[in-house]
A and B are shown apart, each in its own frame.
Chain A
């Protein structure tokens, strides 16, 4: 039996070079220190993306975009065997994916893993984060229940306030002057074709860079002499730990999906006013609250301008951090970057909580 497997392995190895890949994997090491826990979050982000892709394809089999969107989701949730489970996994998975990507981003930031030679890793990662949020926004509309409809309507009303280009951009995204069945079809195409087509190559690039450069070590670990630094082989040691963490994440996802299944609200009625307290999902609450507050303080379009301007400046600063806090920049820039990160994180947390309290 062993010889049989060995001969199959040799046949495949000759043609695909498996031996080289295994040798590479065996040589790869992962730094092992007090902050190594944060190395799991990139893998967890990937896991949740894979869950989304898998459950998304299954939903695709039954979902009908356009005028029958609501009915098809109703059938998935309340008629199809385990349709509710696939939908709940997908909806909860989306939230967990955004959370994992966010934690991954902040852990990379505070470990300063954006420094040379990992700048492209940082930029591609931010691109992936942005795409993940657009995935979330586009997917949210697809059930076309009241919550989905009005959250999207309110979300798209914001850019439409901008003079000249605003209404045109909003109309392009909506497929018309109002959120309707054409918007659903448009968002569906975006969610299922366009975004994956952008996401997958960028993800591939991001993973290639991780393989090329390896895991970064935090500054505290860099200060230690090489002899004191520990590392473990990626294969099988780190991979097994990674698998165990993935198992725990899958259990957590299954638990929330089974105990708190995603239900469907009443069908969207465009003639009704938006329900009281309508709000986007938690990962947009920070921006939602900032725009709301600035709109109260600075009435009219000016408030929106200030808000969007603030977001743009913050995003650009966040993007350019690797060029500011370089490996050789020195202590002051490194400290400033850390404070900026802490301020950014605190602002997001505070405005998110404030947003919920203000509902």
Chain B
């Protein structure tokens, strides 16, 4: 452990990132797609002299500014705080490689946020043509925020061979372009762009639902149908983009998708399969509801219907992002760094020299502690450093539940499998190797056994009379 470990009870630090990030994706993709939506809707409205549309769009741009500028920006920064605390090791690697990318990102974010505010506040105050130009500047720069971050996110799953060849040599930043434009970059960009277009339409439903159908039925009908055009075709294209994305995911990661097909047994990594099943259903439901209401019966669309579509979109988004994260197991940076921060290249050294010996951050134990307490503290440090990035003790992916009824012998045999990391080990697909010297491994076994308070060994059978 080169950094202090953030032991977030019950939920696990990973889910702190997850909860913030899922909300951020919902809003940020709207920030991108919605920018194009606003400017293109404004152009259409001005071309056709639809003053009713312009009034609604002005209100929509206010909603847009508050949602994206406050909650979008807030959750974006929140991700930074969360990843720095939850996984400083991986964050450090990303920063060292992509500081240039984040510098570009900082500039495009500044332009994005500024133009969003200017777009809203200069409505009807500057010439129409200039206002539309501001809108386009916003849309293009917001797209570039996606362009950059998409490279970093996809790098985490597929860093690409050029970068992997340089990994550990100190020359990794020289491969900045290859790392950014890694094998998944373009499929992911297309996938996310389609999601942005869809979410633009989905969020627009919220504004359009609030149009009083009694006073302006034509406006509500026209705008809802136009918003529906943003949702339905892009959803129809999403499966193809998804297939392209999966085609470029390495086979060893793709194989994780099938683990939950035939079983949901404890200890089998079935959550990716289960999560992926949710995506087509929630997505198809969104299309169905948008078609049935926004397209076929727009005057009946109320705010509660729009909110239910938002919730379905949240489910689809959450499932997709969670699936993307799980697809990367057992790595946090593919083929380079395991989920617990251990680098692939460091495994044999850590096995020889020990894991805790090199750890800068472990909890202090009193110098006159009893050997048993010392062993447990050592075991707990091993748990925190190598296990707790993914497993909580007693709640999310609970260690207690996974240990089950096993006694110390049973636990020791699983730990040995994780340490030996044989090629045919079933755990190899989604678990990192357990590193450390034999005494550290034994200490971990003691600690895990203490979680369930099972006896040390099976009692010897009674001697026959």
Residues of A participating in the B interface, judged by any CB pair closer than 8 Å: 77-85, 88, 236-237, 240-241, 243-244, 247-248, 250-251, 254-255, 258-259, 261, 263
Contacts and interface: CB of A to CB of B under 8 A. Distances in A.
21 contacts: A77-B263, A78-B262, A81-B261, A88-B264, A236-B297, A240-B292, A244-B289, A244-B293, A244-B305, A247-B288, A247-B289, A248-B285, A248-B308, A248-B312, A250-B285, A251-B281, A251-B282, A254-B281, A259-B275, A259-B278, A263-B264
B300 interface: yes
Contacts of B263: 77-79, 84
Given A240-B297, A258-B274, A80 B262 contact: yes
> Would you call the interface of chain A mostly helix, strand, loop, or mixed?
helix
Contacts of A237: 297, 300
Q: Which 7 A-B pairs have the closest CB atoms?
A: A258-B274, A84-B264, A261-B264, A78-B263, A247-B285, A240-B292, A81-B262
Given A78-B263, A243-B292, A250-B281, 16 more contacts: A77-B263, A78-B262, A78-B264, A79-B263, A84-B260, A84-B263, A84-B264, A84-B270, A236-B297, A240-B296, A244-B289, A244-B305, A251-B282, A258-B274, A258-B277, A258-B278
A320 B293 CA distance: 41
B371 interface: no
B285 A251 contact: yes
Contacts of A248: 285, 308, 312
Nearest to B271: A259
Interface of B: 260-266, 270, 274-275, 277-278, 281-282, 285, 288-289, 292-293, 296-297, 300, 305, 308, 312, 315
Contacts of A263: 264, 266
B354 to A, nearest CB: 38
B209 to A, nearest CB: 14
Nearest to B268: A78
A29 to B, nearest CB: 15
A37 to B, nearest CB: 9
Point out which of A77, A83, A243, A251 has the most chain B C-beta atoms below 10 A from its C-beta. Answer: A251
Contacts of B282: 251
Contacts of B305: 244
Contacts of A78: 262-265
A80 B261 CA distance: 8
B300 to A, nearest CB: 7
B293 A240 contact: yes
A344 B281 CA distance: 38
A234 to B, nearest CB: 14
Contacts of B261: 81-82
A81 B264 CA distance: 10
A261 B274 contact: yes
Nearest to A241: B300
Contacts of B278: 254-255, 258-259
Contact of B277 (A85, A243, A250): A85
B222 to A, nearest CB: 20
Contacts of A244: 288-289, 292-293, 305, 308
Nearest to A258: B274
B262 A255 contact: no
B292 A258 contact: no
Contacts of B300: 237, 241
Contacts of A81: 261-262
Contacts of B264: 77-78, 84, 88, 261, 263
Nearest to B261: A81
A82 B260 CA distance: 8
Contacts of B281: 250-251, 254
A259 B263 CA distance: 14
